Structure 1
Amino acid sequence: MYTPKPYAEAELATLHEGMRAWSFATLVTVGPAGASATHLPFLLDAQDGEAGLLTTHLAQKNPQLEDLRAGREALVIFQGPHAFVTPSWYVKQSTFPTWNYSAIHARGTPRVIEERMAIHAVLRRTVAVYDTPLRAECAGSWDFDAMPFDFVAPRLDMIAAVEIPVQSLEGKFKLNQDRSEEDRRGVIAALERLGEPQGVAVARMMRERMETGANA
């Protein structure tokens, strides 16, 4: 990922925080058939290895699984909030429009898991992370563990789990670090005024990083 120095983020805790927040990510591999990409939810074990362990699952019928079984390097792209930025929001307007965004790239050699109960364990973790918190919020009554195993078992044979030990991690938070504080505050105010969710999230990141001095 092309990352000019002002935009580089190397703080592991910050990268892990982003990976959890933007956990529906893109899995990319390159094999004999060319480049393949699948959009998947990822679980992060931050304490496993130097940079963490990613776990996901995908359909057995997905052709990308052959790249994963072959142990070809996998790239997982986590996309954070992004927003168009017009020079109209700057004090010094002798420049061009740009796009503020955040992204994290994780690379590693995948391990495919096809044992039924191991896949079941991955699904239970995925449900615990994504579904269980919603029960309290919306009085949901669906319970994965209450489903008869005879009903669940055929589905387990239709998917595979994948673990990716993270061997390299790159973060790019492009948030107008190359502009003056005055210009950055103008962008923050404009994005907050527009109220578009992605833009508001970008403004929040910009404000937080200005307050903490990150990438200043």
Structure 2
Amino acid sequence: MYLPPHFAVTDPEALHQLILAHPLGALITCGERGLDANHLPFEFDAGEGEHGVLRAHVARNNPLWQEVQDGDEVLVIFKAADGYISPNWYPSKQAHHKQVPTWNYAVVHAHGRIRIHDDARFVRRLLATLTRTHEAAEPVPWKMADAPRDYLEAMVAAVVGIEIEIDRLVGKFKLSQNKEEGDRLGAITALRERGCDALAGAMEGPSRGR
């Protein structure tokens, strides 16, 4: 990934927070049939290993888990809010017209090595963790015990677990850090007027330049 210094984010906490807030990652693998991408909701454990561990599951019918080998290098891409930035939003454009359109975004690339877990205990534990995490905000959180036992066992048997030990995290937050303060604020105002509050908030946030 092209990474100009002013867009590079090295603060581990900022990278972890993006992954936790946007857990649907694009898992990039390279097997016998070439490159492949699968979009999976990940569990992220920052406290395990040097850089953390990612866990997810895929359908047993998905060839991914048979096309990769334990220890293969993989990449997972996590993306936060993104959006088009018009040069018309910059006050300086009215003065000298030396502005062009761009696109703002924040991403984290997790590089690591994959392991396959064709193991019902691993899958059941992972599904329970993911369920607790994503049901927590519900008035009456769904839990695995709510499903009939035989149905749940069939669902568990239909998926395979994966685990990725992260070797390195690379963060790129392209949030107008390279613009004059007035132009950055002009873009933030325009985004809020268009309902793009998440991207506007990221451009205002404390992790913007770290």
Return the TM-score normalized by structure 1.
0.90
- Give CA-to-partner distance per residue, 1:143-193, whole Å, 9 cap, x none: 312334322222222111111111011000001111100100100111111
**Alignment partner of 1:204 is 2:204:** no
Report the CA distance between 1:73 and its aligned residue.
1.1
5+ unaligned residues in a row in structure 1: which ranges? none
For residue 129 of structure 2, what is the aligned residue in structure 1? 125
For residue 135 of structure 1, what is the aligned residue in structure 2? 138
For residue 165 of structure 1, what is the aligned residue in structure 2? 165
Task: Work out the CA distance in 2 between the residues paired with 1:161 and 1:173.
Answer: 30
Letter paired with 1:105: H
Report the CA distance between 1:31 and its aligned residue.
1.3
Task: Work out the CA distance in 2 between the residues paired with 1:154 and 1:166.
Answer: 31
Report the CA distance between 1:7 and its aligned residue.
0.3
Partner SS for 1:81? coil
For residue 192 of structure 2, what is the aligned residue in structure 1? 192
**Alignment partner of 1:113 is 2:90:** no
For residue 92 of structure 2, what is the aligned residue in structure 1? 92
Tell me if the contact between 1:52 and 1:165 (Cα under 8 Å) persists in the aligned partners.
yes
- Give CA-to-partner distance per residue, 1:71-101, whole Å, 9 cap, x none: 3211110011001001101122212100000
For residue 48 of structure 1, what is the aligned residue in structure 2? 48
Return the TM-score normalized by structure 2.
0.92
Report the CA distance between 1:107 and its aligned residue.
1.1
Letter paired with 2:129: R
Report the CA distance between 1:116 and its aligned residue.
1.2
Task: Work out the CA distance in 1 between the residues paired with 2:119 and 2:69.
Answer: 14
Which deviates more from structure 2 when the two are superposed, residues 36-45 or residues 59-68? Answer: 59-68
**Alignment partner of 1:215 is 2:197:** no
Letter paired with 1:193: E
Task: Work out the CA distance in 1 between the residues paired with 2:67 and 2:74.
Answer: 9
Report matched runs for 1:29-44 at 5 Å: 29-44=29-44
Tell me if the contact between 2:8 and 2:171 (Cα under 8 Å) persists in the aligned partners.
yes
Report matched runs for 1:172-191 at 5 Å: 172-191=172-191
5+ unaligned residues in a row in structure 2: which ranges? none
Give the count of matched residue pairs.
Answer: 206
For residue 10 of structure 2, what is the aligned residue in structure 1? 10
Letter paired with 1:135: E
Task: Work out the CA distance in 1 between the residues paired with 2:163 and 2:92.
Answer: 48
Report the CA distance between 1:51 and its aligned residue.
1.1
- Give CA-to-partner distance per residue, 1:25-61, whole Å, 9 cap, x none: 1111011101111111001111111211101000111
For residue 155 of structure 1, what is the aligned residue in structure 2? 155
Tell me if the contact between 1:60 and 1:158 (Cα under 8 Å) persists in the aligned partners.
yes
- Give CA-to-partner distance per residue, 1:112-151, whole Å, 9 cap, x none: 11111221111111111112x1432xx45x4312334322
